[in-house]
Amino acid sequence: MKEKLQQIKDKIKLLFSWHQAGIFLLVIFLVLVLAGAGILVYGKIYENKVLPGLKVGHISIGGMEKEELAQFLEKMNDKMINTGLTFNYEVNGEKKDLVVYPVLVGESGSIDLIRQDVEKETDYLLAYGKGGNLFSQSVKTIQLKINNQDLPLNNVYVDKENLLRTLKETLSVYEQKPVDANVKINSIDNLEYEITDSRVGFVFDYDKALEDAVNQWKWMELVSVELKLQKYEPQVLEKDVQSIVGRLENVLNNGDLKLTFKDPQTNLSEDWFLDVEKLSNWIEVQPRDGSFVFGLKKDEVIKFLQDNVVDKINIQPQNAKFETNAEGRVVKFQGSRPGVEVDLDRTYEKINNAFIERTLHDEGITKVVLVEIKIIEPQISTGDVNNLGISEVLGVGVSDYSNSSINRKKNILNAVNKLNGILIKPGEIFSTLDYTKPFTLEGGYFPELVIKGDEMKAEIGGGLCQIGTTLFRMAMNSGMEIVERRNHSLVISHYNDPVNHLPGTDATVYDPAPDFKFKNDTNNYILIQTYMDTANEELFFTLWGTSDGRQGSYTHPIVDRWIPYGEEKIIETTKLAPGEKNCQNAFRGADTHFTYTRKLADGTIQEKVFESHYRPLQKICLLGVENLTPIATSTETVVSIINEQTPVVEVFNPELTQ
């Protein structure tokens, strides 16, 4: 009996144990389900937001939606440009600060020499950590919430060349360049010469300073970096010159050097002579294969080529193009032609090597050097223009260039002529820069007066953004795919929308970037025709082709907010007459948007919202004074006011102008 009772008890205990285990497993299952659901819900919350725990430049951006994030990035970018880049350096034991404002402003627009692409940066940060299925994305969301992650800006453009030039032009007065020992010819007839001394140099490490500045910019820190003087030893010492000076008489006795070029099309030849006197002034001692030789200074030879040879040889490539009338009939045809350009570096190398031979041996000396050239093929060849089927207008773009300066109008006309009749292949990406350069006097562009630092100067260019803006509107009205477009930094009246006169439908163009580009995503050639209405001061660009049924249109821009500018800034200068005043106008900032709609041949509708941010800029005036007012800091710097095609940032230093 006792045994049966014990068996019953054991069975009850076993059943109870299984029941407990079942309840326990059920609870665990429910917890896991709820946790998984919670993770998925949490991840879903951040589907259109920046993941929690994410920082950019040490600032938390977790939970920001697209619009909020874009405004935050724009605000930080404006703040950093207005604050400028501070470079700390030391001269004769005295510490100094140099502030460079990386912005170019002129009649035609403005360019920031260091900036972030806010649109790309916004998309990058919104997408960061998101990928795979919803569950893995949700897990990543929780991980970032627990372990914060700090990122630098990922889409920053830097015009390194011009920022470096700014620093060098401003601070070179404090440097001592290294000097190689050399030979100076006093007389060729009786061969009188002297050996000049070498000298150790001390030069600022600009590359390192700019690298540090850009890195701080990417972390959205107020830029303040140290510029250090580096010691540089000369490459050629007095003893090195002495080791080869015995060859100097033989070098000069070999006489003149002839440059020659034979046109491959006309077979006509052109010759230039580098006489021995000129060569003697260009001599420099150069290291070569562990020894030393007499060579020629590169900057002097290049200058000679640019001043005497380039204009005789260089020919711009000519694209095949034709014009049609209102009925689509061809009324004018132009065949293609390759371009020719002097290869300055290779030509110098040949001249220098020919001269070096005089140090090394006496026999077989080269006396004639052929000018090296580069052949530049046209983008559209004559063979491409047959059977194109161009018969109808696809779309027209319009812009107003009234109240422009004379030279700005000339520059616009020059670009208009370059673009008229251009053919664009199926699948080709059209680049405004490629079809309108070079931006030089030889390329047909004119200078205009601009404010640089503390004086007025003439600079080449101005007006290309008028071209980019008109092309942008033409491409949209034609339903083309927009590949690259960036708005100006400032609100410029020339580029306001032609219907409601508000900013937002402009496109800035500046060599080498940004560019305006669109793609011919039709199956046929398309043709650009340009017209400059000088009476009403308007541009009309028409895109011709064969319609595939597509339609393109854009809404007129809406200003989401206007941003006021600050107080007027006065810059004193001794380069104007006392009391004379030259000013750059103030610019209100703005945030705007409009929608571009493409209805393709298959009925597909594509919409893209173009958002534009324009920075405010105060009125800046140069005021002529007899003597500059002392200031608290050792160096005062200002924003340069220059045109859109000559990228120079000038820095006004009172110590150098008094």
State the pTM of this model. 0.68
The per-residue pLDDT for 299 is 95
- Residue 547, both tokens: 């319609």
Instruction: Return the ∠ at Cα 152 (arms to 206 and 230), rounded to 5°.
Output: 15
**509-558 pLDDT, tens digit each:** 887 788 999 999 998 888 898 989 998 899 999 898 888 999 999 999 99
Q: What letter represents residue 202's amino acid?
A: F
Q: Looking at residues 315-331, what average pLDDT do you find? A: 63
With the C-alpha atoms ordered 471, 476, 479, 483, is the resulting torsion angle positive or negative?
positive
What CATH number is given for 195-199+234-376 in this structure?
Answer: 3.10.20
One-character DSSP codes across 169-185: HHHGGG-B--B--EEEE
Q: What is the pLDDT of residue 577?
A: 87
**Out of 135-144, 313-322, 399-408, 484-493, least confident range:** 135-144
Which residues touch 334 (CB under 8 Å, ≥6 apart)?
A: 318, 319, 320, 321, 322, 421
pLDDT at 70 over 50: yes
Per residue in 244-254, pLDDT (tens digit) is: 999 999 999 99
d(CA 395, CA 408): 26
The total number of residues shown for the chain amounts to 658
* Tens of pLDDT, residues 146-160: 778 889 999 998 888
pLDDT category at 421 given cuts 50, 70, 90 is confident
The band of 22, judged by pLDDT with boundaries at 50, 70 and 90, is: low
Residue 579 has pLDDT above 80, yes or no: yes
Q: Are 406 and 412 in contact (CB under 8 A)?
A: no
pLDDT in tens, 182-205: 999 999 988 999 999 999 999 999
The mean pLDDT of the chain is 82
User: What is the rounded average pLDDT of the residues 633-654?
Assistant: 33
Backbone angles phi, psi at 495, to 5 degrees: -105, 5
Do residues 304 and 364 lie in contact, with contact meaning Cβ atoms separated by under 8 Å? no
Would you say residue 634 has pLDDT above 50?
A: no
* Among the listed residues 129, 113, 126, 110, the one whose alpha carbon sits nearest the alpha carbon of residue 73: 126
Mean pLDDT of 401-405: 88
Confidence of residue 295 (pLDDT cuts 50, 70, 90): very high
What's the pLDDT at 97? 87
Q: Judge whether residue 636 has pLDDT over 50.
A: no
Any bridge partners for residue 91, and if so which? 94
Question: Domain ranges in the chain?
Answer: 195-199+234-376, 387-566+588-611
Q: Which residue has the tokens 């299984």?
A: 18
Question: Which pLDDT does position 650 carry in this prediction?
Answer: 33
